[in-house]
Amino acid sequence: MKNFARIVVWILVSLVGAAAYAVIALRRGESLNAAWLIVAALCTYAIGIRFYSKWIAAKVLMLDDLRAPPAEVHDDGRDFVKTNKFVLFGHHFASISGPGPLVGPVLAAQFGYLPGTLWILIGALLGGAVQDFVILFASVRRDGKSLAEMVREEVGGVAGTIAMFAILGILVILVASLGLVVDNALAESPWGLVTTAMTMPLAMIMGLYLRHVRVGKVMEMTGIGVFFLVVSLIAGFAVNHHPTLAPLFTFSKEKLALCLIGYGFVASVLPVWLLLAPRDYLVTFLKIGVVILLAVGIVLVLPPIKMPWLTDPGSFTGGMRPVVSGSLFPFCFITIACGAISGFHSLVSSGTTPKMLTRERTIRQVGYGAMCLESFVAIMAMIAACVLDPGVYFAVNAPVGLVGSTPAAVAQAVSGWGFPVGAEQINALAAAIGEKSVLARTGGAPTLAIGMASIFRAIIGGDAAMKLWYHFALMFEALFILTTVDVATRIGRFLIQELGGRIWKRAGDTKFYPANIGASLLFACAWGYFLYSGVKDPLGGVNSLWPLFGIANQLLALVALCLGTTILIKAGRARLCLVVLIPLLCLGAVTFTAGIEKILHPNPRIGFLAMAGKLSSDLATGSVPAAKIAATHALIFNSRLDAVVAGIFLVLVVAILAVSAREWVLVLARRKPALLHETSPVWLPKTVIESEQQRSWWRLGPAVVIVGTLLRELSGEAAAARSHLPPDQALAQTLADKYDNPQSPTRCC
């Protein structure tokens, strides 16, 4: 009877999901409620987790609960720690959910709500979640080894070197892209700038408090930090309305970019306890709270989707959508990287998570399930963007080079695309959120903040609270992104020092301060150059930087999928390797097509070389004003440099596919032994598994304990307690373990 009831329930889930997909795909010219997107997403995840991931676990990976994971074998309270599966799920989700799934879907909303939504759901179900699942499994079976180590062992040394260059490349473009998002959000916004800037001394005060006043009391420190975040919001409001201070804190995009570069350098060389760690803890709790609040807000408000299901590229200037130039394929799939499939997740899945698992069955729940939850975050971001009036969306996101710089000019251009909007409507929106202008706010962050504020105000505060909600959302995004900038710059510094140490030993010494400063300066200048060139780009910078970021991210995903395919072929499951081989081939086609188009496409808004040629032609014909000649030369150089970077990424794509394919052919042809580098198994007694199956986690008492344990794990207090060291030494060790390991990043894109 129970089985029959389960069958009925899953048939109903499938039918409801199919109905939601039908409504989403077939609704034309009528209002669509956001509830249909939520229903489709939840049914998709439910079916994927219940059936597809379970089939992979049983038939493809053959998980065995009696095989002891690394945490059981090497439990030392520091590197290997046995952790409750629900606590580990929260820890893993907090690590993989960076700003990417919030920003990418907002930018991809320009294609219409349907393409991005389908890619987020199907891509996550069949690609991203499978990648995370397989890499986590592979790392668990190899004593928690990193992605680069596993690639070197299973695919070969050449592939391992490619993985390292891919990591460096993605970090440079990642930080530049995210820095551009912050720059476009905070430029010409004294309220946003002051609110965000105040969190830096706040974090340092929190760090000093944690280090010298109340050593190790992270939860207590975090509570104080939340209070002062509210104070910083009020201070930003006061500065914004002050006749003297407001102009003083109104920064241009160029000035703000230089500040961001300087900040990234300083933050990477400061002790982690002083700035990075306290703000990272604060942002972790803020992120979880905001994601929950946004989910509740969307469910309660159920706003209508106003963006059309598919925008017609022919209606836009030059026959091309304005936010990210290019056709639906491949650029929609490059624009949304995190949220569908992210190569950076493979670093987290082979970092700390495999060293905390207690049973192999948890790999499925954590690896596959956490990616589905991040995909749901991306769906919420898509909804937040698509509930805006399309005319407003394009007015905010279209670059000055396409639509002009005045409300009247922007209104005329956007209305001409078939999305009516008036100059009065644009000015009213700016006034409603407390900004002087909302024009040319490319990058996605302001759009997401407006969408979130419009949802939140419907629950609490009404129109009067719109300004506060907008700047709260903007502060959340800025803090979220800046923490990723901090962590990524620090990881980049370690990677450069690791490479430099092969030439000069002292260069690789992370305790040698001149080497730290030199490596940090080199990496900050690398991403800072791309950031500043993006700021100077008349098409907004996002048009060139974000596709490069997507290509780099998907390149790393190709490395991870090649590793997964190799492992399954060596394990004698060549037919079953299609679960990773098909996503690999699809992603390879997307990445390769995007790279070629960004280099060679004849349209200057897409092709880097075409843009360089157009600008060179303009110089030759004398159509460039004398005041802009130097800037035009810089744009020509930058376009050619971007083409070189994209070309390097393509070479790496071809190389990793070629090296992997060679390994597959040799193994399948039996010209090379199918040698897996798994560690020797250690077996657990069956009585341990049987006793665990009798525990009831859903009761109130255990649930409260699990939530409390998760908070202590996220705050770092649990790790400090496990060290059995004095509080100050425990704090130092915990921070070093968390932030000073480039192979195990604690923050994703």
Percent of residues, the chain, with pLDDT higher than 70: 91
pLDDT tens per residue across span 537-566: 877 788 888 999 999 888 889 999 999 999
> Is the four-CA dihedral 668, 148, 105, 606 of positive or negative sign?
negative
Element (DSSP H or E) covering residue 304: strand 304-305
CA dist list (Å): 372 to 128, 214, 377, 749: 8, 38, 9, 16
Task: Please enumerate in sequence order all residues whose Cβ is within 8 A of that of 295, keeping only pairs 6 or more positions apart, or say none.
Answer: 376, 380
For the cut 80, the answer to whether the pLDDT of residue 217 exceeds it is no
- Tell me, what's the pLDDT at 422? 94
Residue 730 has pLDDT above 60, yes or no: no
Q: How much is the pLDDT for 720? A: 60
State how beta strands 304-305 and 32-33 pair. antiparallel
Please tell me the least confidently modeled range out of 84-93, 408-417, 577-586. 84-93
Does the structure show a pLDDT above 80 at 221? Answer: no
Return the pLDDT at 613.
95
* pLDDT value at residue 444: 87
CB atoms within 10 A of CB 334: 27
| Chain CA centroid to CA 520, Å | 22
CA distance 291 to 476: 11
Would you tell me how many other CB atoms lie within 10 Å of the CB of residue 622?
A: 9
Residues 102-144: pLDDT tens digits?
899 999 999 999 999 999 999 999 999 999 999 999 999 999 9
Q: How confident is the model at residue 587 (pLDDT cuts 50, 70, 90)?
A: very high
The domains of the chain, with CATH numbers, are 2-188+251-311+318-399+440-668 (1.20.1740.10)
* Angle 668-669-672 from CA coordinates, rounded to 5°: 85
More confident residue, 282 or 458: 458
Q: Give yes or no for residue 18 having a pLDDT over 70.
A: yes
Q: What pLDDT sits at residue 709?
A: 60
Per-residue pLDDT tens over the stretch 673-684: 999 999 999 888
What is the average pLDDT score of the chain?
86
Q: Residue 451: is its pLDDT beyond 90?
A: yes
- Cis, bond preceding 604 (omega within 30 deg of 0): no
Burial label, 499 (beta-carbon count in 10 A; 0-12, 13-18, 19+): middle
Interacting residues of 691 by C-beta distance below 8 A, sequence separation 6+: none
Query: What pLDDT digit, counting tens, does each position of 94-106 carry?
Result: 778 878 898 999 9
Tell whether the model's pLDDT for residue 412 goes beyond 90: yes
